Structure 1
Amino acid sequence: MDVRVLGRCSPDPFLSARDLFETEYDLSLPVEVRVRTDPDERTYTGHYPDHHVLNISASAASSAMARELALHEYAHMHRYEHSHPSHVQSTEEALFLALTGRSVEQRKLTHCYQIANHMKDIYADDITLDVGPADKLVDFLESSLATALAERPAQAPQAWQRLTPASDPDITAVNAAFALALVERHDLVDDDHRLYDLAAAAGSDAPGVSVEQFKRRFQSLTADPGESEYRKALVDVTRAYAIDAGQGAGSGTAAD
């Protein structure tokens, strides 16, 4: 597995992640790690005919999570190389199938892409957690959810105005469901872990979104779905969020 680190950072976390990954998996194509100056673009992966690109911010590349982030992105690359439905299904196609003929708030539409990414992450982390320790991932999920809850406005729900995408109560509730689904899928925490209290708080902030329902949807994703099975799961979760959870919600800018 060929990993080349481009940019002014230590290659050690990326090579260490490679060594962990290679204990069980491999990649056919080489990986270029490109360090970016934009701190908001923590990590994302690009796929090309003859290589993969792992884009990572300078702050993330030098953080304590660098190895775990790299391992997670290698897992995405593996899913893509093996044409796993979660990584080759067009999100745009699934959203069109789910929402055609409907008028959906722009923020909800944006959130649907994040939900599709959560489904990809479930499958990537099935690999990540097969080869690497879980402690840092659990801490990351906990701190991310706690930060999102801390960012929410303090007024009554009907007076809320979104400060940042992270502080939107609806998607924060779905993010909480994703975190619970991941830790329960791999039996990573006890029932009294703080994640459950944080998820309960997120759910109470978003009464139109069932944390339990979305947790079940993420947790129950089958390991090796067929293309049609995965497409249906993505369409169903999109409708559950953008349409079912939106019944009775306040009006907003609509997008077809």
Structure 2
Amino acid sequence: MDIRVQGPGPTSPFLSARDRFETEHDLSLPVHVQLRDDPDERTWAAHYDDRHVLNISRQAASSAMASELALHEFAHMARHEQDHPSHTQSTEEVLYLALAGKSVERRKLSHCYQIANHMKDIYADDITLSVGPGEKLLSFLESSLAAAVADRPETPPRPGLERLSASADPEITAVNAAFALALAERHDLVDRDHRLYDLAHAAAMDAPEIDFEGFKRRFRELGRETDVSTYRQVLVDATRSYVGGDGLAAD
């Protein structure tokens, strides 16, 4: 597995992640690590005919999570090379099938993309967690959800209705909580008394219109082996559940 770090910055997190990844997996194409100056730049992978590109800020590359972030992106690259349905299915196609004839708020439309990304992450982390322990990932999920749950408005929207989760978008916070708990349960990372359950419960209470248990079940029970048609239907169903609606997707 060929890794080329471009620009000044740490290299050891990427080499460490490569060593762990190669215990069970490999990539056919080289990986170019692009270190970016913007500290708010999210970590993400891009795919080309002759290479993969791992984009990461220098700040993230120097963090305690750097190796885990790299390993997660290597897993996405592996799924891409496998032509896995979660990484080849067009989200735009799914939205067309799921939302035809509907009027959907822009924010909810963006949330649908996030739901699709959660499903991609489930399949990527099936690889990530097959080659390394999940303690850091669990801590990351817990801290991220705790920050969202603590993000309350200074003034409740109405007396007695103070929100328990992120003030801007409690609906997607509840879905994010379902994803975090589903991933943890899928890989046996948590006991029943783990704090993640309390945080997820708080997020779910703040968005009673979201089928929290349904989303958790969808994420947790995604088939380890799936085909294009099955995966498309699961994503269509999740999209319709989030925005409202039912029915079967066209094949």
TM-score, normalized by length of structure 2?
Answer: 0.92
SS of 1:35's partner is strand
CA distance in 1, matches of 2:131, 2:168: 32
**1:186 corresponds to:** 187
CA distance in 2, matches of 1:88, 1:152: 37
CA distance in 1, matches of 2:90, 2:98: 13
Q: CA contact under 8 A between 2:174 and 2:204: conserved in structure 1?
A: yes
Which one-letter code corresponds to 1:225 in the other structure?
A: T
Q: Alpha-carbon deviation of 1:212?
A: 1.1
Q: 1:63 to 1:243 in 2, by over 3 A?
A: same
CA distance in 2, matches of 1:89, 1:7: 33
SS of 1:104's partner is coil
**1:235 corresponds to:** 236
Q: CA contact under 8 A between 2:87 and 2:120: conserved in structure 1?
A: yes
Q: Alpha-carbon deviation of 1:87?
A: 0.2
Residues 1:83 and 2:59 aligned together: no
Q: Alpha-carbon deviation of 1:39?
A: 2.3
CA distance in 1, matches of 2:52, 2:167: 28
Q: 1:228 to 1:118 in 2, by over 3 A?
A: same
Which one-letter code corresponds to 2:12 in the other structure?
A: D
Q: 1:131 to 1:192 in 2, by over 3 A?
A: same
* Consecutive unaligned residues in structure 1, runs of 5 or more: 245-256
Q: Alpha-carbon deviation of 1:128?
A: 0.2
**2:118 corresponds to:** 118
**2:177 corresponds to:** 176
CA distance in 2, matches of 1:211, 1:193: 18
For each residue in 1:112-163, what CA deviation from the matched residue of structure 2 results, as whole angstroms up to 9, or x when unmatched?
0001000000000000000011100000000000111112325445699x9x
CA distance in 2, matches of 1:56, 1:226: 31
CA distance in 2, matches of 1:106, 1:57: 28
Which one-letter code corresponds to 1:243 in the other structure?
A: G
Q: CA contact under 8 A between 1:149 and 1:167: conserved in structure 2?
A: no
Higher-helix-fraction structure: 1
Q: CA contact under 8 A between 1:166 and 1:172: conserved in structure 2?
A: no
CA distance in 1, matches of 2:167, 2:71: 24
CA distance in 2, matches of 1:154, 1:94: 38
What percent of counterpart residues are identical? 68
**1:143 corresponds to:** 143
Q: CA contact under 8 A between 1:152 and 1:168: conserved in structure 2?
A: no
Q: Alpha-carbon deviation of 1:79?
A: 0.2
**2:3 corresponds to:** 3
**1:254 corresponds to:** none
**2:66 corresponds to:** 66
Which one-letter code corresponds to 1:207 in the other structure?
A: P
SS of 2:130's partner is helix
Q: Alpha-carbon deviation of 1:166?
A: 8.3
**2:249 corresponds to:** none
For each residue in 1:26-64, what CA deviation from the matched residue of structure 2 results, as whole angstroms up to 9, or x when unmatched?
000000000112222220110000000000112111100
The list of structure 1 runs, each at least 4 consecutive aligned residues, that deviate by more than 4 angstroms after superposition, is 157-160
Q: 1:167 to 1:17 in 2, by over 3 A?
A: farther
**2:248 corresponds to:** none
TM-score, normalized by length of structure 1?
Answer: 0.91
CA distance in 1, matches of 2:92, 2:208: 28
Q: 1:139 to 1:183 in 2, by over 3 A?
A: same
CA distance in 2, matches of 1:167, 1:126: 31
**1:251 corresponds to:** none
Q: 1:157 to 1:97 in 2, by over 3 A?
A: farther
CA distance in 2, matches of 1:26, 1:166: 42
SS of 1:131's partner is coil
How many aligned positions are there? 243
RMSD across aligned positions (CA): 2.0
